[in-house]
């Protein structure tokens, strides 16, 4: 897009002080004629750029400013590219954009920025299998969020499929599971993108709260979900070295207490049902002892009886 080229041209002029149309063309991968037209357009639009004829001439900003137009410091540029680099894995458009941004930085920033961009590689595929595929409609929903366009959804919820007309506010990628946060006639709702059967962006303008902070809104959604998931709890005794593993299983619903004299730790664990708690504990066998939570104990006895019935000696 021409607007992108004009901004990139300004960044180049800011970082280098003086630049020729040929250099702009080489950096932005356009023709010299296109680069010259862009420079003339900047001047005509009132941007203080002017040509200097002659052997060592070129285009410069009035005053010869060498300040980076982005306002980034060296440490900020490094932090930005450290975060942006992993996102370009498998995304050629992002990698190309990152290369252009590197070229637009002042020369003294470039080496650190390039190293930061290549410092981390993200492999989202788990060991031994293909990762969870990206659900359909993510790109469509992203564009609808940016363009502020309403989306008509067919959504497969617990009560079956239903039609929804929503105002998309933002998308959240949580451990390769995508969620759409949107406004509806009944207020804010959260939709799992992999349950969307069909989606169509309309020409209707989407409303979005002016004070919306997507990260804070998502924290509210998570807190509400976790409250619903933690309706049943139990207290167990487990050796201290197993507590980190329990944390991996139960997440924020694993709350350890101070270790006892025998090296075991009282830990409160929770889930949305007693069955769910028991199922997660059953594989631990005698390594855990449930000391509080009668419903969970009853489910463990049931699971144990089923296993003995199926696999016990004749």
User: 305 and 250, same structural domain?
Assistant: yes
- Domain holding 279: CATH number? 3.30.70
- Domain holding 14: CATH number? 1.10.10.10
Tell me if 86 is assigned to some domain: yes
Tally of domains within the chain:
4
Tell me if 127 is assigned to some domain: no
CB 281 within 8 A of CB 233: no
User: 299 and 267, same structural domain?
Assistant: yes
Tell me if 67 is assigned to some domain: no
C-alpha 148/C-alpha 79 separation (Å) is: 30
User: 97 and 45, same structural domain?
Assistant: no
pLDDT by 10-residue block (mean), the chain, 314 residues: 66 77 85 85 75 77 53 67 66 71 70 74 65 81 91 90 94 85 93 94 93 88 79 92 91 90 93 91 93 95 92 78
Tell me if 223 is assigned to some domain: no
**What pLDDT does residue 67 have?**
44
Question: Which pair of structure tokens corresponds to residue 176?
Answer: 């390769």
User: 237 and 306, same structural domain?
Assistant: yes
CB 133 within 8 A of CB 145: no
50 beta partners: 60
Tell me if 219 is assigned to some domain: no
* Structural domain for 200, as ranges: 138-210
C-alpha 211/C-alpha 76 separation (Å) is: 26
User: 200 and 178, same structural domain?
Assistant: yes
Of 285, 284, 281, 286, the C-alpha closest to 296 is: 281
**What pLDDT does residue 295 have?**
94
**What pLDDT does residue 87 have?**
64
CB 150 within 8 A of CB 207: no
CA terminus-to-terminus distance, the chain:
76
Tell me if 41 is assigned to some domain: yes
Question: Which pair of structure tokens corresponds to residue 143?
Answer: 């564009």
User: 167 and 110, same structural domain?
Assistant: no
State the pTM of this model. Answer: 0.57
Tell me if 216 is assigned to some domain: no
User: 307 and 234, same structural domain?
Assistant: yes
Tell me if 34 is assigned to some domain: yes
């Amino acid at each position: 897009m021409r607007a992108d080229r004009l901004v990139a041209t300004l960044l180049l002029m800011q970082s280098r002080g003086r630049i020729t149309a040929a250099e702009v063309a080489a950096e932005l991968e356009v023709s010299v004629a296109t680069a010259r037209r862009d420079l003339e357009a900047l001047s005509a639009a009132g941007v203080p750029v002017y040509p200097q004829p002659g052997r060592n001439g070129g285009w410069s900003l009035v005053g010869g400013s060498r300040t980076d137009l982005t306002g980034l410091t060296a440490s900020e540029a490094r932090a930005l590219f450290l975060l942006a680099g992993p996102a370009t894995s498998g995304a050629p458009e992002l990698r190309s954009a990152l290369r252009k941004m590197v070229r637009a930085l002042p020369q003294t920033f470039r080496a650190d920025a390039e190293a930061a961009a290549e410092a981390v590689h993200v492999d989202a595929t788990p060991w031994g299998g293909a990762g969870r595929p990206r659900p359909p409609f993510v790109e469509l929903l992203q564009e609808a969020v940016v363009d502020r366009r309403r989306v008509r959804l067919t959504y497969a919820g617990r009560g079956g499929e239903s039609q929804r007309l929503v105002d998309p506010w933002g998308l959240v990628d949580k451990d390769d599971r995508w969620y759409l946060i949107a406004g509806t006639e009944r207020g804010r709702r959260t939709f799992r993108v992999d349950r969307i059967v069909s989606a169509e962006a309309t020409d209707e303008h989407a409303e979005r709260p002016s004070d919306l902070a997507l990260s804070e809104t998502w924290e509210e959604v998570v807190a509400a979900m976790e409250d619903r998931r933690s309706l049943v709890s139990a207290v167990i005794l487990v050796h201290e070295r197993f507590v980190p593993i329990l944390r991996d299983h139960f997440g924020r619903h694993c709350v350890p207490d101070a270790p006892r004299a025998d090296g075991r730790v009282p830990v409160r664990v929770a889930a949305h049902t007693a069955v769910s708690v028991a199922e997660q504990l059953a594989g631990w066998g005698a390594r855990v002892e449930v000391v509080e939570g009668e419903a969970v104990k009853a489910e463990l006895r049931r699971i144990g009886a089923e296993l003995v019935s199926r696999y016990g000696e004749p």
